[in-house]
């Protein structure tokens, strides 16, 4: 079965990438322009596999079309370049709302007291095989590609994190020897962010990353792809861990723009 899947994926990667889809990328995904030419071609191949294997569903009156599918798939597959991948194996569907959606939130305080409330969200990654996104936020966060915020990258970072069965800020690393360094660097940087926020200091990283280690990984992944030079300058060890994990060096993409 795996052999059949692999051959089918290789066939999809060899298919010509539709020019209409490429125009969606050029118009809607500025990060596409930063990539070296060979990475753009690899990304296009990943997009074709992703769209073949994942189901898209519109909610709240939203209609799914090729532009929606390609724009979301491109940003998700950006996380897969240069690595052996099984294309987010825990994911079966991407649900898209036109704008923010209301969900039931369950919160636990430090004493274990549980409170339920409802709140608007623009993205969620569920452990039941689904990513939920608000289309207006997808477009806005994609268009502004130098602010360190990208809702698609954030939620699909959670999908990578969950591939070992637990979302804890430590994805599956290619080499077991890397876990010690990862734990040290991410642990130190997570504590540093929380301390900075407690003292009222300014931080490069979004404060949402201080929520828990899983959110920290998702937030720094956004920064890695959107503001790589700043992340490398202010958090060099953190940048290096991500560079080794993703096998990409976005700080070097800047010269490829245009």
Lowest mean pLDDT among 2-11, 42-51, 117-126, 223-232: 117-126
Task: Count the alpha carbons within 13 Å of 226 in the hemisphere toward its beta carbon.
Answer: 25
User: At 100, is the pLDDT very low, low, confident or very high (cuts 50, 70, 90)?
Assistant: confident
CB-based contacts of 56: which residues, under 8 Å, 6+ apart?
64, 68, 69, 72, 93, 94, 95, 96
The model's pLDDT over 16-38, given as tens digits with 9 standing for 90+, comes to 999 999 999 999 999 999 999 99
Domains with residue ranges and CATH for the chain: 2-256 (3.40.390.10)
DSSP 164: G
pLDDT at 106 over 60: no
Q: What average pLDDT does the structure give for the chain? A: 91
Q: Mean per-residue pLDDT for 186-214?
A: 95
Any idea what the Cα angle at residue 108 is, between residues 170 and 199, rounded to 5°?
A: 70
pLDDT at 109 over 60: no
In this predicted structure, what is the pLDDT of residue 175?
87
pLDDT at 11 over 90: yes
What is the rounded distance in angstroms from the CA atom of residue 157 to the CA atom of residue 155?
5
Q: Mean per-residue pLDDT for 191-211?
A: 94
CB-based contacts of 245: which residues, under 8 Å, 6+ apart?
171, 173, 174, 178, 182
The model's pLDDT over 138-184, given as tens digits with 9 standing for 90+, comes to 999 999 989 999 999 999 999 999 999 999 999 999 888 899 999 99
Lowest mean pLDDT among 4-8, 39-43, 206-210: 4-8
In this predicted structure, what is the pLDDT of residue 22?
98
CA 2: distance to chain centroid? 26
Q: Mean per-residue pLDDT for 95-102?
A: 87
In this predicted structure, what is the pLDDT of residue 101?
76
In this predicted structure, what is the pLDDT of residue 145?
86
User: First CA to last CA across the chain, in angstroms?
Assistant: 42
- E-only strand ranges, 61-143: 93-97, 101-108, 114-121, 123-126, 130-134
Where are the alpha helices (H) located in the chain, listed in sequence order? 2-14, 19-28, 30-34, 37-53, 66-77, 135-143, 151-161, 178-198, 213-226, 228-234, 236-246
Q: Mean per-residue pLDDT for 198-206?
A: 93
In this predicted structure, what is the pLDDT of residue 213?
97
In this predicted structure, what is the pLDDT of residue 121?
83
What 3-state DSSP class applies to 183? helix
DSSP 99: S
In this predicted structure, what is the pLDDT of residue 127?
85
What is the rounded distance in angstroms from the CA atom of residue 126 to the CA atom of residue 230?
30
In this predicted structure, what is the pLDDT of residue 169?
96
Strand partners, 125: 131
Higher pLDDT, 174 or 213: 213
User: At 113, is the pLDDT very low, low, confident or very high (cuts 50, 70, 90)?
Assistant: low
Q: Mean per-residue pLDDT for 62-69?
A: 97
Burial per residue of 211-234, b for 16 or more beta-carbon CB atoms within 10 angstroms, e otherwise: eebbbbbbbbbbbbbbbbebbbee
CB-based contacts of 90: which residues, under 8 Å, 6+ apart?
127, 129, 159, 162, 163
What is the rounded distance in angstroms from the CA atom of residue 74 to the CA atom of residue 153?
10
What is the rounded distance in angstroms from the CA atom of residue 192 to the CA atom of residue 209?
11
């Amino acid at each position: 079965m795996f052999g059949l899947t692999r051959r089918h994926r290789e066939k999809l990667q060899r298919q010509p990438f539709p020019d209409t889809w490429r125009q969606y990328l050029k118009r809607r995904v500025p990060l596409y322009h930063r990539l070296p030419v060979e990475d753009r071609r690899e990304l296009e191949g990943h997009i074709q596999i992703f769209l073949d294997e994942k189901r898209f569903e519109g909610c709240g009156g939203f209609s799914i079309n090729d532009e929606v599918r390609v724009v979301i798939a491109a940003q998700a597959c950006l996380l897969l370049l240069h690595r052996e991948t099984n294309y987010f194996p825990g994911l079966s569907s991407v649900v898209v709302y036109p704008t923010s959606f209301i969900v039931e939130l369950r919160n636990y305080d430090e004493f274990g007291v549980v409170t339920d409330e409802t709140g608007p969200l623009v993205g969620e990654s569920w452990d039941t095989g689904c990513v939920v996104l608000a289309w207006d936020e997808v477009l806005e966060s994609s268009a502004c590609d130098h602010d360190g915020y990208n809702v698609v990258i954030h939620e699909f970072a959670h999908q990578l994190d969950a591939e070992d069965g637990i979302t804890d800020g430590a994805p599956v690393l290619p080499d077991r020897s890397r876990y010690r360094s990862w734990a040290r660097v991410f642990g130190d940087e997570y504590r540093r962010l929380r301390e900075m926020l407690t003292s009222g200091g300014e931080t490069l990283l979004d404060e949402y990353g201080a929520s828990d280690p899983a959110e920290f990984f998702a937030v720094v992944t956004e920064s890695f792809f959107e503001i790589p030079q700043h992340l490398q300058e202010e958090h060099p060890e953190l940048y290096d861990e991500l560079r080794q994990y993703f096998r990409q060096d976005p700080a070097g993409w800047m010269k490829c723009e245009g």
